[in-house]
Amino acid sequence: LIDQGAITQSRLSTPLSYTGIMEQIKALFSKTEFAIKSGLKKADFSYLSKNGKCSTCSGYGKIKTSMDFMSDIWLTCFSCKGMRYNELILACKFKERSIGEVCGMTVLEAIEFFDTEAILQSLKILKRVGVGHLLLGQAGNTLSGGEAQRLKLAASMMGRRTGATLYLFDEPSSGLHYFDILQLIEVFQLLVGRGDTVIFIEHNSTLIGAADEVVTLGPGSGENGGSVIY
């Protein structure tokens, strides 16, 4: 079920960690000459690890300030400048970029940066579902409902196939620009083309027009709805 519910309420979850791409990037940095000389392991390139996280913000990249009569505010960490990692980890570079700088890239920027096929394949799926604008290290609780929905779809597409899948969508066009809807249709056609089934509840005529089969419910809404009209 691919709905628009939040993927997380935590600032520690990101598009990278949610989709599993982070594991591939951590492995890449752990194989650099600097990491090998410094004795850094793959696990150290996690901002949740004791050896990797910034000690000032504990890997959040921001510091919470409690306000007595207003909501808490989060300010960029003065130690790591929002990059979540400590100085040793940030000193390790891949193609002259630290892992903190990579987390600050958008999906589209990362596609131009990386040349590892496995990472590129996953990033291109994110682009295809229409979240190329997201920062790789963006806090998961800052995503909109539409962004969360498309991120869930991307994560599903990246997973190992165990057979045909049934995808159920609730109003997938909600909040999308017309051109984003066209991009979403391409993704749906890709899923159908590989043997999966897509069922969606929708009122957008463009998306409805792309369906192979349409079931119309009505004749009205609420107590006057629910019958199969067509």
Give a three-class secondary structure readout of the chain.
CECCCCCCCCCCCCHHHHHCHHHHHHHHHHCCHHHHHHCCCHHHHCCCCCCCECCCCCCCCEEEECCCCCCCEEEECCCCCCCCECHHHHHCCECCECHHHHHCCEHHHHHHHCCCHHHHHHHHHHHHCCCCCCECCCCHHHCCHHHHHHHHHHHHHHCCCCCCCEEEEECCCCCCCHHHHHHHHHHHHHHHHCCCEEEEECCCHHHHHCCCCCCCEECCCHHHCCEECC
Q: Looking at residue 174, what is its pLDDT? A: 81
Closest CA to 90 of 133, 138, 32: 32
Task: Give the confidence band of 176 by pLDDT, cuts at 50, 70, 90.
Answer: confident
pLDDT tens readout for residues 12-38:
999 999 999 999 999 999 999 999 999
Q: For residue range 93-127, what is the model confidence (pLDDT) as tens digits?
A: 999 999 999 999 999 999 999 999 999 999 999 99
pLDDT (0 to 100) of residue 151: 93
- The residue-averaged pLDDT of 132-157 equals 92
For the question of whether the overall pTM of this predicted structure is more than 0.95, the answer is: no
Over 80: is that where the pLDDT of 172 sits? yes
Listed residue (115, 112, 131) closest to 175, CA to CA = 131
CA distance 70 to 110: 37
* Interval 55-83 mean pLDDT: 89
**44's tokens:** 């150290």
Q: What is the pLDDT of the chain when averaged over all its residues?
A: 92
CA distance 216 to 44: 54
Top pLDDT among 125 and 8 is at 125
Q: How does pLDDT run across 179-217, given as a tens digit for each residue? A: 888 988 999 999 999 999 999 999 999 999 999 999 999
Phi, psi of 107 (to 5 degrees): -60, -45
Give pLDDT, residue 134. Answer: 95
Question: For the residues 145-149, what does the mean pLDDT come to?
Answer: 89
Q: Average pLDDT in the 143-159 region?
A: 91
Residue 135 has what DSSP assignment?
A: B
Mean pLDDT of 219-224: 87
* Amino acid at position 197, single letter: T
Given a cut of 80, whether residue 67 has pLDDT beyond it is no
Cα(108)–Cα(158) distance, integer angstroms: 17
pLDDT for the residue 130: 87
